[in-house]
Structure 1
Amino acid sequence: MESVIKINPGASKGEIRQKVWDYIEEKNLANFPRPVHNRIPNFKGAFGACTKVTELQVFTETSEVKVDPDKPLEGARLAVLQAQKTLLVPTPRLRSGLFNKITPPQGASKEQLRTCASSQGVRDFSVPVDLDAKVKVDLVVVGSVAVSEKGCRIGKGEGFADLEWAMMSSMGAVNKSTVVVTIIHDCQVVDVPDELMGSHDLTVDYILTPSRVIKTNCQLPKPQGIIWTKLDSEKLKKIPILKKLRALEEQAGKDVTLGATPPAAEPGLQNDDPKRQPRRRPRRNTQQDAEGETSQESRQERGSESGQRARQQPARVRKESRGSGKGDADKEAGKTVKGRSRRMVKEQGSEEVGGEEVSQRKLPQSVTTVYLGGIPTGLRVSELKAALRERNAAPLRLTWQGAQHRAFLDYSDPQGADQALEALQGLCLNGQNLQAELAKSQRGQKKSGQRQTLSKASKSKMSPLKGGSTKETEQ
């Protein structure tokens, strides 16, 4: 069957991803979260496509199934639980281990099974699986951005599905005969050239779409363990379980030499192309520090130059002008802000993250704020931002108040805030459950989504704290 998305000869993985994401958005083929750029698309008809997994002969013969945590695969996770098979789900970004075993309550209803199949299920009904556990995975279900009928798969570019497979292979949980299934929209079946596949890339045996079941008969071999030269020390810092696995393999006499750390871009297994920002949401360009990962190098640079910043242009002014397209106007605004106190800037709507203030002049006039409480001691703002992205709940602005164990998330409208609240239910970081609810100042205006103006009385209760953070008596 001919693909509806034409891939140009010599196209890179990044170019193929962009074409697929653009097509899905232009044709309105996706459900929430939108836009689909930089995500595994939650395509329309995903649940029906997921039910086809039960039609595979290999599914009836399996007892343990690993399904990725992506939203479009929720139906596959439910199918595994309804068939009373063992469901394994990778931990988000592999930060706290390899995967969790979902254990529904005894005699669980269909509604309870649906909850177990959702992101909340990993928190409420899961048990972590250690590397020492004797696990045998019979079937692996992964999300994809694009797949060829020959089984060549392209993910969203972060390499976690490939790394998860490599780790499972190293611990003996999978082998070259383990079946891999991906579930995608029909338009995501494209002509991916074989030469784009590297030794670390995971291929697939079956493709399930709303209209088809495709057996790929893929001739390319699956990765047989971790290729350590594809990783570096920065990757090991972000994924602690890799350190343990590396130590085990080193004891077994294997070569565990790491690759060199790239000088700039964050390392990843599929970091073949820089990510492009979605054209539909240019405002993200003004939120690179609020929503993007902060590199170790940039943190060190901020620390070493802190003594010079009083004599230089403030960070907030530089961030105002970054990506704004209004050079002179922003410089004028920066001069005006420079002479004001932190308290005045805060009251006018600035963001504070790690002691830096980021002007929010480009935020919509009407926003809806979500309160996030119970933030554990020692959690970094970058870790919270990563967790928000994983749950597709990244805000327009994040106000970090880690010392008070809370943060405030601003969304463009009440609908976005409601979706974020739903996604954040059951969020657990560093072993502590976080509380997500509509901010007090918003609860009386949920329908309009308007931000309440602080009264004189409430303003008088705000006092600057050391490091530029602001303490508020309300949430």
Structure 2
Amino acid sequence: MALGLAPQMSCSGVTKSDIRQKVWDYIEEHNLANFPRPVHHRIPNFKGASQAGEKLLCLQEFMEAKTVKVNPDKPQENARFLTLEARKTLLVPTPRLRAGLFNKIIPPPGATKEQLRICATSQGVKEYSVPVGLDASVQVDLIVVGSVAVSEKGWRIGKGEGFADMEYAMMVSMGAVSENTVVVTIVHDCQVVDIPEQLIDDHDLTVDYILTPTRIIKTDCKLPKPCGIIWSKVDTELLQRIPILNNLLYREKKAGRAVTIKNEQAASTNVVRNISVCVQEHNLENPSGSKRTVTVMESQDSRGITTVYVGNLPAGLRVSELKTLLRAHNAVPLRLTWQGAQRRAFLDYKNDETAENTVAALQNLKISGNTLRVELAKSQRASSHGGAT
């Protein structure tokens, strides 16, 4: 790992979460980032991002590209500006894919250099863009993504939510990218690290070039890029978070393709209903006992469910980070009830044995310096709370 990080990390048993944490900690400890801080759970806005972005101008693939997709994070702002300045078509993904796949940036007629810089900012992306529909005929020639860590072999780790991977898979489904579409990431030198190959899955996006403030690295990556959406890894929770996935799923089925999502069979065999209830809360966060409406997911038969309590979660931890950690320890629950404000979560498992194995696997585990409190919990303790994810 770059800049002296290697001795602190063994490849044996290392997870993506471990690597993210090391990189985030290193950047913070060495004051290598600009606003927003801290960089944890973000694509770091590292010092020198603008200079690293300038190296796009050295790539023949960028010079020849007509349409470039650049992620919306702050460290790629200069990449967006350079794309607009070169009079190329700029596509920017919608934040967290909530409102579609991406937007096309349309600068004002005769825009000056200063106006183009404004168009490249996050606010400018909102003000000077039009949505691109799934039926649009788009051919993306080059993609710029952010990373938390990347190896010289082209293996990439994002912030843990999988949006860059999903964006690429969606573009494959749309026919917007091909095997010749070049993928570039822009990072600080310290983010170029050793990544064990066993951590890279078939849905992970790999990169062809790494641009840093001091280097251009051509990875010659041997692993193939995702060949489309892997529907067997998509669950109903993801469909709810990313509505455009529902449209793509409908298209796949309408085209006669045999597509089954991860928990479709379970969803069809259990009667699940949404019930809006008013919950009287009496806790430190809500001492007045005011009411709020929550959604409780009830299945027809919840017998045999054993719940695990996970407490002392670090402040600011995202549910996606916890899910990544659970996957890394083979502890994926049937249901996760997230209570981030209280820094705790409840995990439902199909039986006592699975729950006890999870407790054993997570014992003494630390996240951001916090030792997790993990123990068996009474199932009714979880079912009395909302927030299932």
- TM-score normalised to structure 2 length: 0.69
1:47 matched to which residue of 2? 50
In the alignment, structure 1 residue 31 sits paired with structure 2 residue 37: no
Look up the equivalent residue of 1:4 and give its one-letter code: G
2:227 matched to which residue of 1? 224
2:173 matched to which residue of 1? 170
Look up the equivalent residue of 1:57 and give its one-letter code: Q
1:135 matched to which residue of 2? 138
2:4 matched to which residue of 1? 4
CA distance in 2, matches of 1:118, 1:315: 43
Asked if the contact 2:2–2:189 (Cα under 8 Å) also holds between the matched residues in 1, the reply is no
2:102 matched to which residue of 1? 99
Shift of 1:5: 2.1
Shift of 1:316: 3.5
Provide Cα deviations, 1:184-216, integer angstroms capped at 9, x if missing partner. Answer: 000000001111100100000000000000000
Asked if the contact 1:230–1:259 (Cα under 8 Å) also holds between the matched residues in 2, the reply is yes
CA distance in 1, matches of 2:19, 2:256: 39
CA distance in 1, matches of 2:144, 2:77: 11
CA distance in 1, matches of 2:261, 2:25: 36
Shift of 1:354: 4.7
1:82 matched to which residue of 2? 85
Q: Map of 1:228-267 to 2, 5 A cutoff? A: 228-260=231-263
Structure 1 stretch 115-124 or stretch 206-215: which is displaced more?
A: 115-124
Look up the equivalent residue of 1:121 and give its one-letter code: G
Asked if the contact 1:3–1:190 (Cα under 8 Å) also holds between the matched residues in 2, the reply is no
More strand by share: 2
1:191 matched to which residue of 2? 194
Provide Cα deviations, 1:308-342, integer angstroms capped at 9, x if missing partner. Answer: x3xxxx3343x37xxxxxxxxxxxxx6xx67xxx7
Change (3 A) 1:18 1:53: same
Asked if the contact 2:81–2:117 (Cα under 8 Å) also holds between the matched residues in 1, the reply is yes
In the alignment, structure 1 residue 121 sits paired with structure 2 residue 102: no
Shift of 1:254: 2.3
Asked if the contact 1:3–1:191 (Cα under 8 Å) also holds between the matched residues in 2, the reply is no
Shift of 1:28: 0.4
1:64 matched to which residue of 2? 67
Structure 1 stretch 6-15 or stretch 61-70: which is displaced more?
A: 6-15
Shift of 1:18: 0.3
CA distance in 1, matches of 2:31, 2:2: 21
Shift of 1:251: 2.2
1:448 matched to which residue of 2? none
Name the SS of the counterpart of 1:315 in structure 2.
Answer: coil
Look up the equivalent residue of 1:209 and give its one-letter code: T
Look up the equivalent residue of 1:39 and give its one-letter code: R
Asked if the contact 2:278–2:293 (Cα under 8 Å) also holds between the matched residues in 1, the reply is no
CA distance in 2, matches of 1:4, 1:62: 37
Look up the equivalent residue of 1:49 and give its one-letter code: A
CA distance in 1, matches of 2:181, 2:95: 23
RMSD: 2.4
Asked if the contact 2:35–2:45 (Cα under 8 Å) also holds between the matched residues in 1, the reply is yes
Structure 1 stretch 168-177 or stretch 157-166: which is displaced more?
A: 168-177
Q: Map of 1:320-359 to 2, 5 A cutoff? A: 354=292
CA distance in 2, matches of 1:20, 1:124: 33
**How many equivalent pairs are there?**
286
Shift of 1:174: 0.5
Asked if the contact 1:4–1:187 (Cα under 8 Å) also holds between the matched residues in 2, the reply is no
Asked if the contact 1:32–1:42 (Cα under 8 Å) also holds between the matched residues in 2, the reply is yes
Task: List alignment gaps of at least 5 residues for structure 2.
Answer: 267-271, 295-389
Asked if the contact 1:175–1:224 (Cα under 8 Å) also holds between the matched residues in 2, the reply is no
Provide Cα deviations, 1:193-240, integer angstroms capped at 9, x if missing partner. Answer: 111100100000000000000000000000010001111112112211
Q: Map of 1:383-398 to 2, 5 A cutoff? A: none
Shift of 1:109: 1.0
Shift of 1:35: 0.3
CA distance in 1, matches of 2:283, 2:184: 47
2:152 matched to which residue of 1? 149
Asked if the contact 1:229–1:258 (Cα under 8 Å) also holds between the matched residues in 2, the reply is yes
Name the SS of the counterpart of 1:254 in structure 2.
Answer: coil
2:209 matched to which residue of 1? 206
- TM-score normalised to structure 1 length: 0.57
Look up the equivalent residue of 1:150 and give its one-letter code: K
Asked if the contact 1:21–1:36 (Cα under 8 Å) also holds between the matched residues in 2, the reply is yes
Name the SS of the counterpart of 1:97 in structure 2.
Answer: coil
Provide Cα deviations, 1:389-434, integer angstroms capped at 9, x if missing partner. Answer: xxxxxxxxxxxxxxxxxxxxxxxxxxxxxxxxxxxxxxxxxxxxxx
Look up the equivalent residue of 1:96 and give its one-letter code: A
